[in-house]
Amino acid sequence: MTQIELRGIEKHFGAVQVIKNLNLAIADNEFIVLLGQSGCGKTTTLRAIAGLETIDEGDILIDGQPVQHIKASHRDIAFVFQSFSLYPHMTVFENIAFPLRATRGNRADIEREVQAVSKTLQITHLLAKRPSALSGGDMQRVAIGRALVRRPKAMLMDEPIGALDAKLREEMRAEIKRLHIKQGSTTIYVTHDQVEAMSLADRIVVMHEGVLQQVGTPHEVYARPANMFVAQFVGSPVMNMAEVTVSEDAGHARVLVRGAPTAFDFPSSLTAQLAAAGAENGNLTLGVRPEGVLVSREAREGFVPVEAHIIEPLGSHDIIDLQVGAQMLRARTKSGFVPRPGEAVWARINPAQAHFFDSSAGTSFGIRL
């Protein structure tokens, strides 16, 4: 049973502020992923929770107790490093037993605990080997074993599979998820890979330049991004963004991408919602994911003529760049739907998948159609 709470955390490295007023409450058994680009402060946050980094302001609470002045060795938290950080002069067994020996448990207990955890991770056959003789995946299994063996209050993982190749990464991702479901300990996981974040997290915490951008379930973060940064950071291919002006015409809202000859049709309720949210033309950005751009090969009601510019066949689907005015709008279609680049097609934006942002502040107006 471990809750972790961060209250008003601030951290500077010299003149650079790496964490700005960070507040976050993590529930027991929750799998939290800190997601952001490198240098966004996610790793520093993790290291601060572990006690490897001091903080300048704020409180870190573990089960309600402030721990920011307690040494790392007394916080009872396990840390898995990207570099695995297995001690090269010890065998796998000794590596896993190392945290247990800190508390000077007796030999038989240690032996039993190490055996149990290596059985869970299926590394029993590796116990006598040295870390240098292991593959990357096995090294990380051992590192996780070393973290799990003393049943810490919480597991902190800093890009634990970032150093592995793509195929192994996928395997280990599934393994970490399985392990979390089985062992169920409060876990904070740092990554810059949004796919990892989406697939593992109970909740994702998106950070940018030391500032928390959004906290939510993977679905929330994907479907209702709080601002333009989150919208573009999560999801692949990246969400389309275009400056637009909105007008009303014959019972329809007309959304005109800057520089485009024709406007997209939207339900009339859009104008009222935008007005209520305080949005103004000239400061309005439309965001839509490629799957929210509908493509037709013949002229249809509500569809705008566009030109297919580039086609990227990806096997399961195609990504097509459509020229709308001076902008490119990327759409996702069935594979082979548009046979050749240069072809004239018709496009429409699915209102249910449209997001509207304040162009200057970047925040979402939170409009749902």
Residues that bind other proteins (CB under 8 A): 50-52, 71-79, 81, 83, 85, 87-89, 98-99, 102-103, 146, 150
Which positions ≥6 away from 133 have C-beta within 8 Å? none
CB of 76 or CB of 243, closer to other proteins: 76
Angle, helices 136-148/107-120, rounded to nearest 10 degrees: 130
Per residue, what are the HEC states of 204-231?
Answer: EEEEECCEEEEEECHHHHHHCCCEHHHH
Pairwise CA distance, residues 65 & 106, whole Å: 30
Round to whole Å and give the CA distance between 197 and 44. 18
- Residues 11 and 364: their CA atoms lie apart, in Å, by 28
Beta carbon of residue 131, minimum distance to other proteins (angstroms, whole number): 11
Beta carbon nearer to other proteins, 103 or 316: 103
Question: Please, which residue, 47 or 192, has the CB nearer to other proteins?
Answer: 47
Which of 62, 308 has the CB closer to other proteins? 62
In angstroms, what is the minimal distance from the CB of 93 to other proteins? 15
By C-beta, is 134 or 304 nearer to other proteins?
134
- CB of 240 vs other proteins, minimal distance in Å: 40
- Alpha carbon distance 45, 102 (integer Å): 25
Q: Please give the helix or strand (H or E) that residue 145 lies within, else none.
A: helix 136-148
CB nearer to other proteins: pick between 130 and 224: 130
Beta carbon of residue 150, minimum distance to other proteins (angstroms, whole number): 8
Give the span between the Cα atoms of 53 and 45, in whole angstroms. Answer: 8
In the complex, least distance from residue 327 CB atom to other proteins, rounded to whole angstroms: 45
C-alpha–C-alpha distance, residues 365 and 6, integer Å: 27
CB of 151 to other proteins, least distance (A): 12
Give the nearest distance from C-beta 87 to other proteins in angstroms.
6
Which residue, 67 or 239, has its beta carbon nearer to other proteins?
Answer: 67
Q: How far is Cα 257 from Cα 244, in angstroms, rounded to an integer?
A: 5
In contact, 303 and 309? CB cutoff 8 Å: no
Give the residue from 176, 194, 197, 198 showing the smallest Cα distance to 185: 176
* Residue closer to other proteins (CB basis): 46 or 198: 46
Torsion of CA 173, 20, 1, 78, to 10 degrees: 50
Q: Which is nearest to 248 in space by CA: 294, 289, 281?
A: 281
Q: Which is nearer to other proteins, 72 or 238 (CB)?
A: 72
∠ CA 251-254-258, rounded to 5°: 170
DSSP 173: H
CB of 146 to other proteins, least distance (A): 7
> Shortest gap between Cβ of 148 and other proteins (angstroms)?
12
